Amino acid sequence: MATYVTSDAHGHARALDRALELAQPGSNDAVFVLGDMVDRGPDPLGVVRIVRSLPNTHVLMGNHEAMLLETILTGDESDMMAWHMNGGFVTSEQLDALARDAYVDVMDWFAELPTFAVVEVDDARRSVAPGARRSHVLCHAGIDASRLRESLAAMGVTADTQGGYGGATPRNLLDAMVQQRVDDLLWIRREFWSEPTGLVGCDGRGPVVIAGHTPSVLLGRYATLMCGDGVDEALRGVMVEVGPSRDTGGVADRICIDCSAATGYPSGRVGIMRLEDRRVWLADIEEGE
């Protein structure tokens, strides 16, 4: 079984469908979707339908799903205007067009989405010791890393002699993530991307954080130690590893998987990464999509 991650399709159902066709996750593979399925693009509920149709999918809430829920719950006109200005108009129209049962079903589904997950996978890259496994912390926007380390310390899990948290189990990490602020998990940017997490030691061991939310074309405004510029030679969005240094044994401690679909054509893409070997598949957003 392999583990795939994707994020921030933002209503671009055709590009998401093409990315899945390229990656071809199997029925026994796990696919983690890190939120922001809706808003900005032309078919937000089409993205939701694709995601919900996958056989082994784990979906997290993004800030746009949270905005949708808060706006509809309060019914406040200023909240509605702010949501629409942030790309929610088409989502709102599509929701209004649903039959009552379908509307209730999808809204209940949104409301139950968690804000984080932890997954441990075999690390199949050549630069890693054979048989090594690595935990990944998954969330929409990022984490408060100092708070996570403090939460681990409170349960007796501290950095090892190499300065990393390779000994933290997935259960440890899940229990520590409960102490994160929801606003950080959904909205954080600069504070997360600009500083190392302190979770990966100089031997390269320790959990890696996977997040979206910040389009790769804009990541350079916030991140240091980026592997690349956040775009390819044609200025299209890509996935970006962040933070490799001597202190992390050359291992990126954060990965941005938002391939800038929110920007649409011509720079936007939807991407999928397989965590075991970090292979990436990218689908361009075509003109008119």
Summarised one tens digit per residue, pLDDT across range 52-72 is 999 999 999 999 999 999 999
Decide if pLDDT at 264 tops 70.
Answer: yes
Q: How many CA atoms lie within 13 A of 57 on its CB side?
A: 18
Mean pLDDT for the stretch of residues 87-98: 96
Over pLDDT 70: what percentage of the chain? 98
Dihedral of CA atoms 167, 169, 173, 174 in degrees, nearest 10, equals -170
How much is the mean pLDDT over the chain? 96
pLDDT recorded at residue 75: 87
Does the domain formed by 1-289 have CATH 3.60.21.10? yes
Decide if pLDDT at 127 tops 60.
Answer: no
Summarised one tens digit per residue, pLDDT across range 23-44 is 999 999 999 999 999 999 999 9
Summarised one tens digit per residue, pLDDT across range 159-188 is 999 999 999 999 999 999 999 999 999 999
DSSP secondary structure of 67-92: HHHHHHHH--HHHHHHHIIIIIHHHH
Cα 247 to chain center, whole Å? 25
pLDDT recorded at residue 89: 95
pLDDT recorded at residue 76: 87
Over pLDDT 90: what percentage of the chain? 93
pLDDT recorded at residue 132: 83
Burial status of residue 26 (CB atoms within 10 A of its CB: 0-12, 13-18, 19 or more): exposed
